[in-house]
């Protein structure tokens, strides 16, 4: 997590220091950590965040191996292709339909992502009671 703080800080200071020389818009474009355009600082910050989250998940699984939450997370991971396609088609598609994809705030994005993730966990747990693989995983296995 400290890597994320470092890269976000570098981004902040580079934007602040280069804004007088470049325009603020150009400095943000070059040194920002927004997903569009994806700069190297965004990529490094995202990698550090992902590693921190994965490490946290591994710690939780090690400590609470047979808990209901751990099993739900394992089921969610087993349907990862379904959730990846679902978040693009359903999650982002809904935001595009209502016109909130480009105009949303950070707090809305965090709340929306959290609710979508909780729904994904519930869906995965229910789906895995009856099926061994996710819907997209089943289709992929039939076609390939």
| DSSP conformation letters of 91-115 | IIHHHHHHT-TTT--HHHHHHHHHH
Region 101-108 average pLDDT: 76
pTM for this one?
Answer: 0.62
Residue range 59-103, pLDDT digits in tens: 888 888 778 888 888 888 888 889 999 888 888 888 888 877 777
Out of 33-42, 74-83, 108-117, 130-139, pick the least confident: 33-42
DSSP helix, strand, coil percent of the chain (3-state; round to 5):
80, 0, 20
* pLDDT at 124 (0 to 100): 92
* pLDDT at 60 (0 to 100): 81
**Six-digit token pair at 89?**
């088609």
The more confident residue out of 40 and 50 is 50
Residue with tokens 């089921």: 75
Domain boundaries, the chain: 1-63, 65-144
């Amino acid at each position: 997590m400290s890597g994320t703080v470092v890269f976000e800080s570098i981004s902040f200071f580079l934007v602040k220091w280069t804004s007088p020389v470049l325009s603020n818009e150009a400095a943000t474009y070059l040194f920002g950590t927004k997903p569009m355009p994806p700069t190297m600082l965004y990529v490094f910050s995202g990698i550090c965040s992902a590693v921190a989250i994965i490490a946290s998940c591994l710690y939780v699984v090690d400590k609470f191996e047979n808990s209901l939450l751990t099993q739900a997370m394992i089921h969610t991971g087993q349907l990862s292709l379904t959730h990846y396609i679902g978040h693009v088609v359903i999650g982002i598609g809904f935001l595009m339909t209502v016109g909130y994809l480009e105009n949303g705030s950070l707090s809305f994005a965090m709340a929306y992502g959290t609710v979508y993730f909780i729904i994904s966990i519930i869906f995965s747990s229910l789906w895995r009671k009856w099926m061994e693989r996710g819907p997209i995983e089943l289709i992929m296995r039939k076609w390939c």
